[in-house]
Amino acid sequence: MIRTFVEFLTRIVVLIIVILVLGLIVISALYYLIGPILPITPSMLIRPQEVLAFTFALMDTDLFRITIFPGFTFVVIYAAFVVLWERKLLAKMQLRIGPLYAGKFEGIFQPIADVMKLLSKELVIPKVVDRFFFILPPILTVTVATAAVAVIPVTEMWVIAKSEIGVLVIFAVLAFFPLTALMAAWSSNSRYPMLGGIRALHQLVAYEIPLILSTLTPVVYAGSLNLIDIVEKQSDTWFILLAPISALTFYICSLAELERIPFDLPEAEPEVASGWLAEYGSMNFGLIMGVAVYIKLYVFSALFTILFLGGWLGPQPLPPEFWFIFKTFIVTTFLIIPRGVYPRLRIDLLLKQSWARYFILALVNLVVAATAVLGGFKL
Amino acid sequence: MSLVGGLKEMRSDLLLVLLTAGFATAASVIMLIIPLIIAPKKPNKPKEIQYECGQIPSGAGKFPLMMQYYAYLLMFVAFDVMSMFLFAWGISIYNVGLSGFLAVILFIGVLLITLAFTLYHAARRELW
């Protein structure tokens, strides 16, 4: 608690020292990682053209891909922007105003304000929890969500890992989410998280199979599990025209997998008090609800774009990167809109719907696609 | 240099995915350390116990819970394997041809009969 000016100064000085030490460690580590691959010389300080050449060389390395563009920094910035967009959009839909005061124009600095607030809150860890497994889920959800980003191609060039089995990698990674929810629920040692965790387990598990089966239809049309191949096969016709039922199933199941309204039973505030997140506060909460959930939202939007909307393909003068991000953003908006409109489902209806309707809907379009492909339909 | 050389040799898809995940782990750990440094610490009794909307907690969270919807979890265990089987057929559809397609139609038929049977029993909540 800061009461006097001296305490405030001490806190600031400690913070500066910590940042300096951490920065030194990071910079020296980076120097030893990049140094052997790319030439960094002190003469760069006086010759700007060398810095430009160095920057272009740096942009071609895996390190840049992992940390900046299709990787972590890009998705975090996308997530921060989507948080603001979601709040403004829902406010406009419900004739409210939304965030207004942070930043001069329409509250554009609200995400930064949110992060600052979460960072300055006390990290409460109750005594009754299993400490290790309580601290693990926030880190693990971010890790798992970002691992899925690694195989998503923004364009042919901008992809971290060019995997031949991209679709399967994404589903293998996404299968970890019920585990983290259950881990958080059980280790919290509290009633509401327990109920929420059980709900999360049922829901995530029930909607995974229709999701996987609806992904199979574009895979059958394209004849490949490679996400880049799937996009290139759509140069004439987008798969949303050939597989509309699968696209619809995928959309609904992603809503459920993302735990968004109308499928937000695991974190329903009036029923189970934020469910499996009830015991988390400060940056613990920020990492799950602010970072991981929105990275996951990006993953599903990007996957929908790649599978059904032709990925980065679009009219020529604009760059392919623009088309991919634009389409992904449109899909994200459609994933947000139900939150402003629909009430919540009941859990028995939720589970029955998944198995009795979406499972069969996914199979219907799969059989149609297989018949078409075997009947000589060529893309 | 040995580290970088080793990384370049082992450069594969899996390693890149793991590196991305590792970077995210490091970033999130740093984000968890910042509040430990700058946030105030005021421990008190209510912060040490479970949160139940301000009430005194009704007990530990690890309690035997009636899993009314347990059957749906069991269905997942069976049908997830089957959906992966369909995936294996989906990518080799050009190779297995019409006979493979008929076999898969038969398989889906059996799947749907099983689905109807399990759904009927899963809906009987007094059973679980």
Per DSSP, A2 falls in state -
Q: Is A243 helix (H, G, I), strand (E, B) or coil?
A: coil
Task: Tell me the nearest-neighbour CA distance from A302 into chain B, angstroms.
Answer: 17
Q: Based on the structure, what is the number of domains in chain B? A: 2
Query: Considering only alpha carbons, which residue of chain A is nearest residue B90?
Result: A220
- Supply the mean pLDDT for chain B: 80
ipTM of the complex: 0.83
A166-197 per-position pLDDT tens digit: 888 888 888 888 889 889 888 888 888 888 88
Query: Considering only alpha carbons, which residue of chain B is nearest residue A224?
Result: B91
pLDDT number for residue B9:
47
Q: Is the peptide bond before A262 cis (omega within 30 degrees of 0)?
A: yes
Confidence of residue B10 (pLDDT cuts 50, 70, 90): very low
B51-109 per-position pLDDT tens digit: 777 777 777 777 777 777 888 888 888 888 888 888 888 888 888 878 888 888 898 89
B43 and B75 housed in the same domain: no
pTM: 0.86
Structural domain including B95 reads 70-127
Residue spans per domain, chain A? 72-374
Query: Rounded to the nearest 5 degrees, what angle is found at the Cα of A114, between the Cα atoms of A110 and A115?
Result: 120
B76 and B37 housed in the same domain: no
pLDDT > 70: what percent of chain A? Answer: 96
B101/A374 touch (CB, cutoff 8 Å), yes or no: yes
B64 within a domain of the structure (yes/no): no
Contact A279, A193 (CB under 8 A): yes
B17 within a domain of the structure (yes/no): yes
B94 within a domain of the structure (yes/no): yes
A373/B105 touch (CB, cutoff 8 Å), yes or no: no
B59 within a domain of the structure (yes/no): no
Contacts of B72 by beta carbon, 8 Å cutoff, 6+ apart: A202, A205, A206, A351, A355, B122
B37 within a domain of the structure (yes/no): yes
User: Which stretches of chain A are DSSP H helices?
Assistant: 5-34, 48-59, 62-67, 72-93, 110-119, 131-149, 166-174, 177-188, 191-222, 227-232, 239-242, 244-257, 269-272, 282-285, 293-308, 320-336, 347-353, 359-374
Task: Tell me the nearest-neighbour CA distance from A133 into chain B, angstroms.
Answer: 14
List the 74-113 stretch of B: residues with Cβ below 8 A of A.
Answer: 75-76, 79-80, 83-84, 86-87, 90-91, 93-94, 97-98, 101, 104-105, 108, 112
Query: Considering only alpha carbons, which residue of chain B is nearest residue A364?
Result: B108
**CA A276 to CA A187: how far, in whole Å?**
10
**CA B121 to CA B128: how far, in whole Å?**
10
